[in-house]
Structure 1
Amino acid sequence: MEILNIDCLILIFNELSSDNNSLYSCLLVNKEWCHLVIPILWGNYPNYTICINSTEKFFNIILSCLSTSSKQLLIDNNIRLSQTILSKSSFNYVSLCKFLKIEIINNIINMIFRKEILTNVDYSKERDLLEQEIYKLFVSQCEGIKELEWQSSQPIVSFPGASTGFSQLYNLNIDLFYVNSNSLYEMSQICKDLNELTIKGCSQDIPGLISLIDAQRNLKSVSFDFQTKEGTCEELSKALARKGCTINNLSLYGSVDIIPLSFLMSLNNLKDLIIYYDFESYGRILKFQKYLANSKFPDLQILDISDDLLCFKELSMLIENTNGNITDIFVYTSNKSAENTGMFINSISNNCPKIEFLTTYLGPKDLIHIKSLLKNCRNLKSLRFNSLNEIKNIGDGLLNILAKFSPKSLSNISISGKWKYSVGSFENLFESYKKRRLLHFDIHDEIVYITTEHAKVVKKYYDEGVIAYSNLIITGTSEY
């Protein structure tokens, strides 16, 4: 039998990386295969813990990689380690890791202090010591961590090996509740090639965070969760504007009121825009509307906006300034008196030929725009129409338009339960899908006008294989 060379084996094992059970069986073949497979498996957490059928075994392997001095320090402080942990590992497994996740650290700690947790014994001092030694292990042994969840007050940037371990960071997730400005500044001196940056708990300008952002050479994706309305983030806004040429994914959540959104106009290469915001100041709302209307994102592909006062007019103007590459649009609002929904749908119809997923609202005069939308956007896969005001009489018109003009690609439909539908309009829609398949047909909001007769029609076409899934079949209706 001809023996494959190492390069071929590595290619094969990397192709198997999505099938961890098969890959795991390969390491049992012989010693050579084992040495090639182990690094790939350890780069696939948490899938590796699934294929060995034991997260506890996985955590014990990590602890077994602790240095002799660390193990002794833990024992001297009454931290119990099993004999498995105390024995020497066959591999330096931790050195193969490309991740440092808070989930791993916390789960290891919970495993060691299981008894203390159950009996409510104070173990905070021992917990901090164990956490410190685990972080020191990863930082000192991993030469190229790619992903870090920084949610600890441990001075990890000062641990031995930090300058090497964090120099190749690709994805950094920071919780500002734990991490101070000085630590962020230290990280900015080490880490300069971040691709993704996620910040939680942002409430004011932090000099160390500004330095970290400025230090990045190719920052593409940024996400901020603003937790308070008391501070201001003017310098943060300027720092993001300075990265306008590289950032192409932006996500803003929470109290966006505290950051001036003028930086939006500098993000000329933006592809994904997600804003779930909370404005208390009407003046800030007006400024936000202005920035939306005047921003130009020619390469925009994903638009996801949610607030209490959705700006359909300004969003329409934003869409008109794109180059037709949008594939996903999701808009949500709790303001049932929002206007210009028809203008918004019309702008999508005229400017988004590649759109596949759309969630929006319908007003009383919007059905004419739905017809154009379906005729112009032939790649649509999923549609969700939400209700505004107290409109009741557009249900049959909507279903009839969907039956006549839906593209073949449209396989997921979700419509409001606040609209009135005749049983016949249900049948008409499902008959139009007999030569294809409706993967999902859902009724959302309050199911006010759906009766058992509607549900029977859905069940009939489900039994015939026309509908693959409907929540009417699973949950029934309020009249059952």
Structure 2
Amino acid sequence: MPCQLPVDCLNEIFEYLEKDKVSLYSCLLVNRLWCEVSVRILWRNIWIGKSITYGRHRLKVKPAILNTLIICLPNDSKNHLLEKRILNSTQISKTPLFDYVSFCKVLSIHAIGQVIIDVFRSQKYLTKEIIKMFVKKIYSVKKLSYYTNNSNTVNLSFLRYPGAKECLTNLSKLSCSTDVKSAFFYKLSQICYNIQSLNMEFKSVVSNGLKDLICSQNNLKYLSLSQTYGIADWTDIIPSLSKHSNTLIKLKIYGCEYYTRFRPLLSFVTRFTNLRELILSFRYKHNFSELDNNLKCVIFPYLQILKFPHSCPDDDILIKFLENNGKNLLEFYINSSDSLNLAIAKFCPNLKSLYTLFNFDKIETLKIILNDCQQLESIETKYITGLLSEKDLLETLAKYLSKNFYKLKLIICLDSHLVPKDLEEFFNNWKNRVSSKSFSFIIKGWNNSLESNHEGNMKVFEKYKKLGIVSKFDISY
């Protein structure tokens, strides 16, 4: 008789597959026990999809999810919807295999409204019954999403439904638009006091109730502010945000690239001196003008991750910032000049992950970084006109990398000159090094320039993967 793993072991194994929906779905089909364990993990968050409009939360949720939710509705809801001719007798006669809704830990109000609109012409009554079912059956929602950036999204006062208070008391993550009605934020501030992660998408309107919600929290740790539409005034909520200067450890601010007149008030950032991670994403350098002088003198004693995905403050500002704060940095992401690269080498000796650019004539700068940052594990960079070639990059890395290094990500924005010979030389040098990890190599091309040498390059990768020198490689266009 085959040995069956106990439930707790299966559950621990399947937890590692939480984001791998395909593998988890396969587990459903093995046997009854595997199905019972994996279905609970699959249904924690059913509102996963890709945005189909930039900056808008229009998710493509599978209609099968809606069909299952309808089956899970209590009989009184089904009969009510039958009377309204929204459901038919066949739909209300089905019964679920599991109480799927009770497994959910994420509630997305706008996603419910969207998926119903996609399938039904009349959605008002069905949306209400489904949300009532959620707040009644979910013992403890961990994440709530409530956006209003789709004109068809249903705006419901669902906090009045029976069970809503019990459902949301332990809410730890909230994602929302700032123009949701103030009544929603006022009511939520009376229910939830332990939101740790707050993700706000700013619209032209910032509801007054948002200040009350922010102030009522006891342990806010993660804050994300996104300006994706219109021009909003953040001034009124800054005092409320500053109340959490002692607890906040991660801050991300994203500015809209389409509104060049948008100047967010960024000086408040320097009040959060306990930050571990800071991400400031703006397309234009002038967006940092209000912050520049503060960056020169602020001290973040615990800062480990600093990212400027697009534009960044002037070099002299950042060099002074790195002089004050670079020693503790473990991850740095920036589109930098050579002078800033030299500052990275000088002031950031403990870096483990680095994204930066290297000019074509600055091999010596790369060597200095590799020599001075001995803890470096990962580098991400680009190849484009005026930047270091792939061949020069690989040759330098092979000669000067520390034993800790194991990952390279190369973004190719121009015709690639990467050939199998260059890869062979790199991996031959690599295999003779003392390293605790096998190599991970990721190449992303923005055109088809990689195709001419694709077959030969792939053979090299396969060869060294079999030898155990390469653990992961990926070439995508």
Same fold (TM over 0.5): yes
- For the residues of structure 2 that align with 1:72 and 1:45, how far apart are their CA atoms? 28
Query: How far apart are 1:96 and its partner, in Å?
Result: 4.0
SS in 1 for 2:443: strand
Question: Which residue pairs with 1:234 in the alignment?
Answer: 235
SS in 2 for 1:287: coil
- For the residues of structure 1 that align with 2:264 and 2:288, how far apart are their CA atoms? 12
Matches within 5 A, 1:196-215: 196-215=197-216
Query: How far apart are 1:210 and its partner, in Å?
Result: 1.3
RMSD: 4.2
Question: Which residue pairs with 1:321 in the alignment?
Answer: 324
Unpaired runs of at least 5, structure 2: 18-23, 49-60, 148-153
Contact 1:313 1:343 in 2 (8 A): no
Specify the code of the residue in structure 2 equivalent to 1:175.
S
Question: Which residue pairs with 2:354 in the alignment?
Answer: 358
Specify the code of the residue in structure 2 equivalent to 1:255.
C
Q: 1:355 to 1:141 in 2, by over 3 A?
A: same
Percent sequence identity is 24
In the alignment, structure 1 residue 372 sits paired with structure 2 residue 372? no
Contact 1:220 1:249 in 2 (8 A): yes
In the alignment, structure 1 residue 286 sits paired with structure 2 residue 292? no
SS in 2 for 1:439: strand
- For the residues of structure 1 that align with 2:133 and 2:417, how far apart are their CA atoms? 63
- For the residues of structure 2 that align with 1:172 and 1:392, how far apart are their CA atoms? 41
Question: Which residue pairs with 1:153 in the alignment?
Answer: 155
Q: 1:278 to 1:439 in 2, by over 3 A?
A: closer
Contact 1:274 1:303 in 2 (8 A): yes
Q: 1:352 to 1:55 in 2, by over 3 A?
A: same
Query: How far apart are 1:366 and its partner, in Å?
Result: 4.1
Q: 1:346 to 1:188 in 2, by over 3 A?
A: same
Query: How far apart are 1:264 and its partner, in Å?
Result: 0.8
- For the residues of structure 2 that align with 1:12 and 1:357, how far apart are their CA atoms? 34
SS in 2 for 1:275: strand
Structure-1-length-normalised TM-score: 0.75
Specify the code of the residue in structure 2 equivalent to 1:401.
T
Question: Which residue pairs with 1:189 in the alignment?
Answer: 190
Contact 1:171 1:197 in 2 (8 A): yes
Question: Which residue pairs with 1:98 in the alignment?
Answer: 105
- For the residues of structure 1 that align with 2:454 and 2:27, how far apart are their CA atoms? 46
Specify the code of the residue in structure 2 equivalent to 1:167.
T
- For the residues of structure 2 that align with 1:72 and 1:394, how far apart are their CA atoms? 68
Question: Which residue pairs with 2:164 in the alignment?
Answer: 162
SS in 1 for 2:145: strand
Encode CA deviations 1:335-354: one digit per residue, 9 max, x unaligned: xxx7xx23422333244344
SS in 2 for 1:383: strand
Choose the corresponding residue for 2:277, options 272, 275, 284. Answer: 272
SS in 2 for 1:222: strand
- For the residues of structure 1 that align with 2:10 and 2:393, how far apart are their CA atoms? 51
- For the residues of structure 1 that align with 2:367 and 2:83, how far apart are their CA atoms? 74
- For the residues of structure 2 that align with 1:172 and 1:22, how far apart are their CA atoms? 31
- For the residues of structure 1 that align with 2:107 and 2:388, how far apart are their CA atoms? 55
SS in 2 for 1:232: coil
- For the residues of structure 2 that align with 1:385 and 1:293, how far apart are their CA atoms? 27
Question: Which residue pairs with 2:333 in the alignment?
Answer: 330
Q: 1:381 to 1:419 in 2, by over 3 A?
A: farther
SS in 2 for 1:433: helix
Q: 1:150 to 1:86 in 2, by over 3 A?
A: farther
Query: How far apart are 1:169 and its partner, in Å?
Result: 0.5
Q: 1:258 to 1:85 in 2, by over 3 A?
A: farther
Question: Which residue pairs with 1:144 in the alignment?
Answer: 140
Q: 1:276 to 1:164 in 2, by over 3 A?
A: same
Encode CA deviations 1:364-410: one digit per residue, 9 max, x unaligned: 6643332121123334333233468x636877654443231012323
Encode CA deviations 1:131-150: one digit per residue, 9 max, x unaligned: 12111211233232111111
Q: 1:291 to 1:206 in 2, by over 3 A?
A: farther
Structure-2-length-normalised TM-score: 0.75
Question: Which residue pairs with 1:404 in the alignment?
Answer: 399
Question: Which residue pairs with 1:303 in the alignment?
Answer: 306
Specify the code of the residue in structure 1 equivalent to 2:270.
M
Contact 2:242 2:272 in 1 (8 A): yes
Contact 2:298 2:321 in 1 (8 A): yes
Q: 1:398 to 1:84 in 2, by over 3 A?
A: closer
Contact 1:13 1:23 in 2 (8 A): no
Specify the code of the residue in structure 1 equivalent to 2:316.
K
Query: How far apart are 1:157 and its partner, in Å?
Result: 1.8
Alignment length, in residue pairs?
A: 436
Encode CA deviations 1:62-88: one digit per residue, 9 max, x unaligned: 323323332222222221245354455
SS in 2 for 1:375: helix
Contact 1:24 1:41 in 2 (8 A): no
Query: How far apart are 1:197 and its partner, in Å?
Result: 1.1
Contact 2:43 2:100 in 1 (8 A): no
Larger CA deviation: 161-170 vs 136-145: 136-145
Choose the corresponding residue for 1:17, options 14, 20, 26. Answer: 14
Contact 1:269 1:299 in 2 (8 A): yes
Contact 2:197 2:222 in 1 (8 A): yes
Query: How far apart are 1:463 and its partner, in Å?
Result: 5.8
Matches within 5 A, 1:380-399: 380-386=376-382, 391=386, 398-399=393-394
Specify the code of the residue in structure 2 equivalent to 1:155.
S
- In our comparison, the structure showing a higher alpha carbon Rg is 1
SS in 2 for 1:432: helix
SS in 2 for 1:190: coil
Query: How far apart are 1:252 and its partner, in Å?
Result: 1.3
Query: How far apart are 1:214 and its partner, in Å?
Result: 0.8
Query: How far apart are 1:239 and its partner, in Å?
Result: 1.9
Q: 1:197 to 1:85 in 2, by over 3 A?
A: farther
Query: How far apart are 1:196 and its partner, in Å?
Result: 1.0
Unpaired runs of at least 5, structure 1: 49-53, 114-122, 333-337, 476-480
Query: How far apart are 1:303 and its partner, in Å?
Result: 1.8
Counting helix residues as a fraction of each chain, which structure ranks higher?
Answer: 1
Larger CA deviation: 413-422 vs 197-206: 413-422
Query: How far apart are 1:447 and its partner, in Å?
Result: 9.2
Contact 1:323 1:351 in 2 (8 A): yes
Choose the corresponding residue for 1:64, options 48, 71, 81. Answer: 71
Specify the code of the residue in structure 2 equivalent to 1:405.
Y
